[in-house]
Structure 1
């Protein structure tokens, strides 16, 4: 029995993405390669920003924080997922499941608000460039990052505490590749009404509030850019935001599809596909998006590779 939960289920079985034997090896190799790229990309981005003095700006301070979140986020999910492709049964104990749920929620919520903080940074940089250094001080940036993690901790704690009160007494197979909220609630022997209300309320806050902040920031940014007379100036301003817009669209689109609807409406098979994007694909894509479309990052990488100090 799981301590403190009065549950007869002590272990769960993760069903994984697919039960088709022919797909197990190809999917294992694909997601293993994805995980390696994710680790190299995010650790590389953090290291590059740390070593390159000309990247010690608020924009890259937030980017290094985002890379840390993506690194941790992927590590919480992907290794256990890979086991599912090579093991006959992917078993996870009740405590391990709750721990995985907690840290998954911590990092996914933190990413939502980190992207919002990054959009505010871009708003100040484009709409108030003369006041940028004064406004985006080291103290403010630090408080924004701390605030992001505090919100993540609060959200993860509330969701996990509510899940600990759910009774699991019969089914033990989670129809997913990790311990997520809705797949766990499907196995409950007790009422999940409170849990679903908490999920919808917190999801609305953690998805809609950052989305509104991002949309507001970019509304002012677009208006400001359109007022620039020079075509070259407009192009340069848009290019500084394009990477962030791409990351935001991919992440919020997939999370909103999964969480902003009742479990009775959502399809778990569709949810698995959506989850792949924000748990595996997005953490891999973020460093690629921000490096391939950023001249400063390319220059810093070139200088590091040829061992020339960045001025």
Structure 2
């Protein structure tokens, strides 16, 4: 993946909290790609989804372009203690040389892609914010530590991640191959949760565990949305495309990451048997297939996991 050196970067929605020293070690393998996900002891890691109306809200929209309306937000915690980590990220050239600036560029591309899609559908888009931290941080969904993995908080519409996750957990614990498109895939998945929040899809979640649960359908749809953005990423930007080149190797890295975070894969690597009743995110095969569906079709309706008879 390469960024267009001529592209200008906007750091206004990205911040860094620095290190809090409050995190402590993880007592389980975190699952990336969740809505306020939490690590747990043993082989089962339970996805925590807060269904209270005060947290998720709902817009009564159709879930399709034309019914897209932005949601209100809770307390904006994204600028608390900003370390100015991203202050020098100004252009795509910076993104090609610095992983922090690359993160900004990916956020810019995601913002542009989804805001354009909403506007074409006649809706109003409210962007997510993105915050990095080390150890622990406060969010609209409560205190979060590095053990939870990257997650989206619907209460403040923020994406949170400890950047050590990718090397220490996704590669070190879960056996992912790594690569420069791994983090963009995860960020795109989390942004997919933001889109679900804006569309009111989170209000459909009633069952939180099991292979056919609403929680799994929510996660697989976010993977599909990540695929949609990946398909369009090369042409996404305001006047100048932000991402200059994506190749087959990048897609392979995204698929490998989706495979690494499948519930069945995590259960096996945690030393247990595959127990579909404990699934919260879907199998490796499902996660790869739904990402591919979004990538191949670029279509919101094709990503409607809640209407799918088979996942």
Which structure features the higher share of strand residues?
Answer: 2
Q: If you compute each CA radius of gyration, which structure gives the higher value, 1 or 2?
A: 1
Q: TM-score, normalised by structure 1?
A: 0.26
Identify the structure with bigger relative contact order (alpha carbons < 8 Å, sequence gap 6+). 1
Q: TM-score, normalised by structure 2?
A: 0.26
